[in-house]
A = this chain, B = another copy of it.
């Protein structure tokens, strides 16, 4: 298994992603990147907080990056949309 792994946050319940992070750490990952875009950003923060406060007390937030991604226009001739992103790196 890779030493560095991503968990992409979507619209599922927070606990699904918490479980994904726990599984990765238990499988040997030393670092997990929790990534989200747009409205899912607040859920990404929830996932990290639940992980480290309730299940993995030895896990620390190593880095938080925020940014912008440009999405291709929905229809031809439309203008591209900007969406905010977050990447939270947690590590044992």
Contact = CB atoms under 8 A, between A and B. Distances in A.
Interface stretch (A23-31, A43-51, A71-79): A43-51
A69 to B, nearest CB: 10
A42 B84 contact: yes
Number of copies of chain A assembled together: 2
B68 A88 contact: no
Identify the 10 closest CB pairs spanning chains A and B, nearest first: A41-B42, A64-B64, A45-B84, A49-B68, A46-B84, A42-B42, A49-B84, A45-B66, A39-B42, A41-B45
Given A42-B40, A49-B82, A66 B64 contact: yes
A3 B85 CA distance: 28
Interface string A14-42: 00000000000000000000000011111
